[in-house]
């Protein structure tokens, strides 16, 4: 038997949101925070065109997409680094700072890839409990020490929903030592409507240790093609590029992302529909008697004990709705189409009525 790294004995593979078989009817996947909409015709066209070139390696630097993003966000192209999903960029960031005995600080509960990727990078996780459903940035700042190399701030926080506000985030960034890389994970940025929540891109330009992480997987509807990126100053970008697996972002994905940026207005209209549905779902749940934290993302969070987490998950599965249970912490429900949301809301109402 080959000798594997001991850390693997302590880890389980990443568990993705599941689908459920619909009992004779339709099924609704509300378990992975994806866009509920199929790709736009213009994006499908770009994909079909790019598919004719798959006998060639892709452009390893994703030049055209990098330039399109730089143009879109008015940042230098050298600040943009792409990867096959932002989770891979996250892994590259960890790879570029990890050394034996170093630590990553992040809130918990938060994105499940943080502990996984931190462990794989050979670093130690320092998990700082949420305050209610929000980041406790004071406690996180207090957890940072000489061993800390990276801090994740997930805003809006997956799976609980709230986003970090500008004053708190700026004060936190100002407290961070320069040797600590601070990753502002904005996977759900396009769904934010609270004007007090900053755009991370306004915070990195005069802070050489700040990285903004974004993705095409959610608002841009390309989860299946795997395109994510980070925006950071040159020294960080250059370090992270050294950790890239060659040709990681394939050219079908690159083409789809470029087409999505061109069709951004249409895609952001879809985001607006999701945001409207988010308000409707949250208000309906509150009306039913649930406690639902404010959410700036494309999901809602119900904090429940272990037994009710499993029971609500099962009740949703029976009506064809896959939601995401989190052990003894609660259930996260992605916002879907109005029809899917109605099916979930009926299941939630019946669940409450049934105890």
| Chain residues in the site for ligand PMP (CB under 6 A) | 33, 85-87, 111, 154, 158, 185, 187, 215, 217, 223, 228
Nearer to ligand PMP, 86 or 98 (CB): 86
Q: How far is the CB of 352 from ligand PMP (least distance, A)?
A: 27
Query: Minimum distance between the CB of residue 260 and ligand PMP, rounded to whole angstroms?
Result: 13
Minimum gap (Å) between residue 218 Cβ and ligand PMP:
7
Spatial separation of the C-alpha atoms in residues 268 and 286, rounded to whole Å: 27
Strand ranges in the chain using DSSP code E only, listed in sequence order: 28-29, 80-83, 103-108, 124-129, 148-154, 181-185, 210-215, 228-231, 299-303, 321-322, 324-326, 330-334
In angstroms, the Cα distances linking 17 to 29, 142, 257 are 8, 33, 23
Nearer to ligand PMP, 89 or 315 (CB): 89
Residue 212 vs 347, nearer CB to ligand PMP: 212
Cα–Cα distance measured from residue 312 to residue 307, given in angstroms and rounded to the nearest whole number:
9
Closer residue to ligand PMP in complex, CB, 112/342: 112
Q: How far is the CB of 224 from ligand PMP (least distance, A)?
A: 9
The DSSP symbol for 247 reads T
Nearer to ligand PMP, 308 or 324 (CB): 324
Q: Cβ closer to ligand PMP: 77 or 223?
A: 223
Least distance in angstroms from the C-beta of 188 to ligand PMP: 7
Residue with the CB atom nearest ligand PMP in the bound state: 85
DSSP per residue over 152-184, as a string?
A: EEESSPTTT-----HHHHHHHHHHS-TTSEEEE
Nearer to ligand PMP, 6 or 13 (CB): 13
Strand partners of residue 181 = 150
Closer of 325 and 345 to ligand PMP (Cβ): 325
What contacts 95, CB < 8 A, 6 or more positions away?
121, 243
- Cβ proximity to ligand PMP: between 37 and 351 the closer is 37
- Nearest Cα neighbor of 104 from 175, 159, 152 is 152
Helix residue spans in 211-337 (DSSP H): 234-241, 251-262, 264-288, 306-318
Q: Which residue has the tokens 């409990």?
A: 129
Please state the closest distance from residue 147 (CB atom) to ligand PMP, in A.
Answer: 24
Shortest distance, position 58 Cβ to ligand PMP, whole Å: 17
Query: Is there a cis peptide before residue 67, judged by omega within 30 degrees of 0?
Result: no
Question: The tokens 């997956």 sit on which residue?
Answer: 158
Structure tokens, 139: 């406690």
Token pair listed for 255: 């083409």
Q: Closest approach of Cβ 289 to ligand PMP, in Å?
A: 28
Nearest distance, CB of residue 113 and ligand PMP, angstroms: 7
Looking up tokens 């061109």, which residue turns up? 262
3-state helix, strand, coil in the chain (%, to 5): 40, 15, 40
């Amino acid at each position: 038997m080959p000798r594997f790294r001991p850390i693997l004995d302590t880890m389980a593979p990443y568990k993705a949101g599941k689908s459920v078989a619909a009992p004779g009817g339709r099924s609704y996947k509300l378990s992975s925070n994806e866009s509920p909409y199929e790709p736009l015709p213009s994006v499908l066209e770009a994909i079909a065109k790019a598919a004719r070139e798959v006998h060639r390696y892709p452009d390893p630097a994703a030049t055209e997409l990098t330039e399109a993003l730089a143009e879109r966000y008015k940042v230098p192209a050298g600040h943009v680094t792409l990867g096959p999903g932002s989770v891979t960029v996250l892994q590259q960031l960890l790879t570029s700072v990890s050394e034996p005995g170093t630590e990553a600080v992040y809130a918990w509960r938060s994105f499940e890839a943080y502990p996984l990727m931190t462990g794989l990078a050979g670093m130690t996780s320092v998990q700082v409990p949420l305050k209610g459903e929000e980041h406790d940035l004071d406690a996180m700042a207090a957890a940072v020490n000489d061993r800390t190399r990276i801090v994740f701030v997930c805003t809006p926080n997956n799976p609980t929903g709230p986003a970090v506000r500008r004053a708190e985030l700026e004060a936190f960034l100002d407290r961070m030592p320069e040797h600590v890389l601070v990753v502002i994970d904005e996977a759900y940025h396009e769904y934010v409507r609270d004007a007090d929540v900053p755009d991370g891109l306004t915070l990195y330009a005069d802070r050489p240790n700040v990285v903004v992480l974004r993705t095409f997987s959610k608002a841009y509807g390309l989860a299946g093609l795997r395109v994510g990126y980070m925006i950071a100053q040159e020294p960080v970008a250059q370090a992270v590029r050294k950790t890239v697996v060659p040709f990681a972002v394939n050219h079908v994905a690159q083409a789809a992302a470029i087409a999505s940026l061109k069709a951004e207005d249409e895609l952001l209209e879809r985001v607006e529909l999701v945001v409207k549905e988010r308000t409707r779902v949250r208000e309906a749940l509150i009306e039913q008697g649930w406690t639902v934290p404010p959410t700036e993302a494309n999901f809602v969070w119900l904090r429940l004990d272990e037994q009710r987490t499993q029971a609500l998950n099962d009740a949703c599965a029976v009506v064809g709705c896959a939601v995401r249970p989190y052990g003894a912490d609660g259930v996260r429900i992605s916002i879907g189409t109005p029809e899917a949301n109605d099916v979930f809301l009926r299941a939630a109402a019946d669940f409450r009525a049934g105890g």
